[in-house]
Amino acid sequence: MTAAEKVDYIDLSPIFKNHQNLYAEDGIHLKADFHPFFLDHIKKHSTFDEEDA
């Protein structure tokens, strides 16, 4: 489906598994400290080229 729509799919499950200590007290939301891990993961697995922005 992603190929047909010409969009990337990035599996985020590894960062959720590897950083469970960054969940908020409610166990659902994430703490602000999680965002750098999220951004790094997306950068590593994205085909986005900053020159295209």
pLDDT at 31: 92
Number of alpha carbons in the 13 Å side-chain half-sphere of residue 4: 1
- Residues 4-52 have pLDDT tens digits of 887 778 898 888 888 888 889 998 898 999 999 989 998 888 876 666 5
The token duo for 27 is: 């166990």
pLDDT at 49: 65
* Domain coordinates in residue numbering, the chain: 2-52
